[in-house]
């Protein structure tokens, strides 16, 4: 087992170096206070979808939540709407930011496959059911979402095979997917290794922008998506989703 001291230390250093000039005080105590504000989101995420309906709000999209956090620290935006766990990682490394105690929206993560790929979808669902039944899922939760904050990456070896299954992700979403050196790791990466093993193929992880994942899936560049992706009705028009494997919330990050 490999103990990870810092999930996004490098990004935190960049954020900590952001300007220290006094920023305008913006009062945001709940989701209702987002009205008329400048809101940052990660491009292509459900957070981006949710804030479209906020009255008189200006929405600014960023490639990653970390980019949005830098803009928030610099005063370029008033708040960020982001998934709960990545938001907690950002706030943990930046003491000038905090999370508003008011969940913006609830959602469920699922694995996406191409429309009609029932063979792979059935195999993925079988893996999810198996790990929930045999205790492996609980072990993954404890490893990547520990109470003490010290992530431990489980050692799950992939099988050796000439046949490859490609998983698409965006490795800037800890603890679900992030990088350690040149390797993509995280909850989804470990889960995907288990999925590939059960499917009888070697796993290849393809890291790309989140908003390009569905297009890559449709063009056969990847075989499935594991990227903390919410199974929305809009996305179901273009992909098939597995059974949900994690329940999350969208939360609001603000300056203290």
DSSP string, 80-116: EEEEHHHHHHHHHT-TTEEE-SS--EEEEE--EEETT
pTM, two decimal places = 0.77
Q: Decide the pairing of beta strands 178-180 and 112-114.
A: unpaired
* Closest to 40 measured CA to CA, from 55, 62, 17: 62
Domains 2-106 and 108-248 share a fold: yes
Mean pLDDT within 172-178? 94
What integer is the mean pLDDT of 8-20? 44
Q: Where are the domains positioned within the chain?
A: 2-106, 108-248
pLDDT beyond 60 at 163: yes
The second-level CATH assignment, the architecture, of 2-106 is: 3-Layer(aba) Sandwich (3.40)
Q: Which CATH architecture has domain 108-248?
A: 3-Layer(aba) Sandwich (3.40)
Q: Residue 128: which region, alpha, beta or left (left: phi > 0; alpha: psi -120 to 50)?
A: alpha
Cα–Cα distance between 249 and 132 in angstroms, integer? 21
Q: Where are the alpha helices (DSSP H) in the chain?
A: 9-16, 46-51, 65-73, 84-92, 118-134, 136-144, 187-199, 213-218, 233-236
Mean pLDDT across the stretch 12-38?
71
pLDDT score, position 23: 61
Contact 170, 162 (CB under 8 A): no
> Percentage of the chain with pLDDT > 90?
77
Distance, CA of 48 to CA of 104 (rounded, Å): 12
pLDDT, residue 24, reads 64
CA–CA distances in Å: residue 28 to residues 58, 122, 161, 255 = 15, 44, 52, 9
- 187: pLDDT confidence band, cut at 50, 70 and 90? very high
pLDDT of 27 > 70? The answer is yes
Within 10 angstroms of residue 138's Cβ, the number of other Cβ atoms is 11
- Phi and psi at residue 119, to the nearest 5°: -60, -50
Rounded-to-integer distance, Cα 64 and Cα 86, Å: 10
């Amino acid at each position: 087992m490999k103990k990870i001291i810092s999930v996004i230390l490098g990004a935190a250093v960049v954020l900590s170096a952001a300007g220290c000039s006094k920023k305008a005080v913006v009062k945001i105590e709940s989701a209702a206070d987002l009205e008329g504000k400048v809101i940052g989101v990660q491009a292509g995420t459900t957070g981006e979808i949710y804030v479209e309906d906020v009255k008189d709000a200006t929405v600014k999209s960023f490639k990653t939540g970390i980019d949005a956090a830098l803009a928030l620290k610099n005063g370029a935006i008033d708040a960020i709407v982001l998934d709960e766990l990545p938001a907690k990682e950002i706030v943990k490394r930046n003491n000038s930011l905090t999370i508003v105690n008011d969940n913006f929206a609830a959602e469920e993560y699922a694995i996406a496959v191409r429309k009609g790929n029932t063979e792979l979808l059935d195999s993925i669902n079988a893996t999810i059911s198996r790990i929930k039944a045999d205790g492996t899922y609980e072990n993954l939760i404890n490893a990547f979402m520990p109470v003490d904050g010290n992530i431990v990456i489980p050692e799950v070896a992939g099988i050796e095979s000439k046949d490859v299954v490609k998983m698409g992700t965006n490795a800037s979403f800890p603890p679900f997917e992030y990088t350690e050196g040149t390797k993509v790791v995280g909850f989804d990466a470990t889960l995907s290794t288990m999925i590939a093993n059960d499917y009888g193929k070697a796993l290849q992880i393809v890291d790309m922008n989140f908003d390009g994942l569905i297009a890559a899936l449709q063009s056969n560049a990847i075989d499935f998506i594991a990227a903390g992706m919410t199974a929305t009705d809009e996305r179901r028009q273009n992909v098939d989703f597995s059974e949900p494997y994690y329940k999350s919330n969208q939360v609001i990050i603000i300056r203290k």
